[in-house]
């Protein structure tokens, strides 16, 4: 197992969230690929989008359904600063996750987290687990709690 996957497993354990991390052997880098591999709809895939504060450099994690688009104006307002898409190298260095495998779980404390409220409408969602082919299923409310994300309206 990779260090990133281990970190996701440890974060779930610490939060009391029981998950089974599955390595699909095929790419789950995008929401569409993940849905195909998981046998679920694209909207049941949790995208873990990392943005950076333009002024502060602080990282923000936005959890959004695979079929929805993050509304950057709403995200800016929640953050209280202008956000830009985080540079993949910065994401890797500061969170330990590579783009395509960024998980909702296992981030450093300094990462500010928000989750879109539409995620809570599903019985089950699937999210990345720290590698380009690693995923897990969870009940969305339990996942959002384990991620310590604030629920808000984030999408267009
Ligand atoms: N494993 C899948 C499904 S769980 C996954 O990680 N999907 S994702 O949506 O959370 O991550 C892919 C996202 O990474 C894309 O939607 C895109 O927003 C972002 N991304 C892709 N390329 C870049 C890039 N060069 N720089 C920053 N972000 C990127």
- Other residues' Cβ atoms within 10 Å of the Cβ of residue 80: 10
Residue pLDDT, tens place only, 120-147: 999 999 999 999 999 999 999 999 999 9
**For ligand 1, atom 8, which residue shows the shortest CA distance?**
47
User: What residue owns the CA closest to ligand 1's atom 17?
Assistant: 49
pLDDT by residue (tens digit) across 32-68?
999 999 999 999 999 999 999 999 999 999 999 999 9
Ligand 1 atom 1 nearest Cα: 29
| Angle at alpha carbon of residue 97, lines to 94 and 100, rounded to 5° | 135
Give pLDDT, residue 91. 98
Q: Could you tell me the domains of the chain?
A: 3-152 (3.90.960.10)
DSSP lists the bridge partners of residue 59 as: 52
Atom of ligand 1 nearest to the CA of 99: 14
**How do 112-116 and 150-152 pair as beta strands?**
parallel
pLDDT, position 1:
61
Mutate to test the pocket of ligand 1, among 48, 67, 154 (most ligand atoms within 8 A of CB): 48
Percent of the chain exceeding pLDDT 90 equals 99
71-115 pLDDT per residue, tens:
999 999 999 999 999 999 999 999 999 999 999 999 999 999 999
Pocket test for ligand 1, best of 35, 47, 135, 136 (most atoms within 8 A of CB): 47
Protein residue with its CA nearest to atom 6 in ligand 1: 100
- The reported pTM is 0.97
Exposure on the CB side of residue 89, measured as CA atoms within 13 A: 0
How does DSSP assign the chain, residue by residue?
--HHHHHHHHHHHHHT-----EE-SS---SHHHHHHHHTS-GGGEEEEEEEEETTT--EEEEEEETTS-B-HHHHHHHHTS-EEEPPHHHHHHHHS--TTS--SSS--TTSEEEEEGGGGGSS-EEEE-SSTTEEEEE-HHHHHHHHTPEEE--B-
pLDDT (0 to 100) of residue 35: 98
């Amino acid at each position: 197992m990779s260090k990133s996957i281990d970190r996701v497993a440890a974060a779930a354990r610490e939060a009391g969230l029981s998950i089974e991390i599955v390595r699909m052997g095929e790419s789950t880098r995008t929401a569409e690929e993940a849905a195909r591999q998981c046998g679920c709809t694209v909207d049941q895939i949790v995208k873990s989008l990392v943005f950076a504060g333009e002024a502060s450099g602080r990282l923000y994690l936005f959890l959004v359904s695979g079929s929805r688009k993050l509304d950057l104006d709403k995200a800016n307002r929640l953050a209280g600063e202008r956000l830009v898409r985080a540079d993949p190298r910065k994401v890797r260095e500061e969170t330990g996750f590579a783009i395509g495998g960024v998980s909702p779980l296992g981030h450093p404390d300094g990462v500010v987290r928000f989750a879109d409220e539409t995620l809570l409408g599903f019985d089950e969602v699937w999210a990345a687990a720290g590698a380009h082919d690693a995923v897990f299923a969870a009940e969305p409310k339990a996942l959002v709690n384990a991620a310590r994300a604030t629920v808000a309206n984030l999408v267009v």
